[in-house]
Amino acid sequence: MTPHAVVDARTSNGIQVVRICGEVDLTNAIEVREAISRIASHDVPAILVDLTETTYLDSSGIAMLFKLAERLNERRQQLRLVVPPTSPLQAALNLTNLPQTIRVQPTVD
C-alpha cells in the first residue's frame, strides 16, 4: 500500500475492521487516510481501526486519525480505535488527548 504501511479490511458483526500494519508518519499519513476512506464501507455504523500491528505513529498519523474521524462523522459513522494497553502508541495517544475524542478499546472484540 505505502512504503511503510499496509491497510486491509474485513467486516465482523456489522462493524468494519480496518487494520494498519507498519508505520504511519509524515511520508504516508495522507495515503493511509485515503486508503481507509476508499475501503471504508458506507453501510456500517462504525469503522474500527485496528492499530495493534502499527509500530509507529507520529503527529501526522495522529492528525490523520482526527481528520478521518471528522470525515466519518460527516457520513454519520463512528470511528473507534484498537490500541492494546502495552502498545507503544498509548503514550502518544494519551498525550494528544485522542481518547477523549475517539473511542479507544484494547481489542477488536
CA-CA distance, 7 to 27, in Å (whole number)? 15
The answer to whether the pTM exceeds 0.85 is yes
Domain count, the chain: 1
Taking only the tens place, the pLDDT of each residue in 79-102 is 999 999 999 999 999 999 999 999
Residue 28 near residue 57 (C-beta atoms within 8 A):
no
Q: Which three cell numbers stand for residue 86?
A: 502495552
CA-CA distance, 92 to 73, in Å (whole number)? 23
For the chain, which residues score pLDDT lower than 50? Answer: none
Domain interval for residue 66: 5-105
10 Å CB burial of residue 105 (0-12, 13-18, 19+) is middle
What is the enclosing helix (H) or strand (E) of 93? Answer: helix 89-95
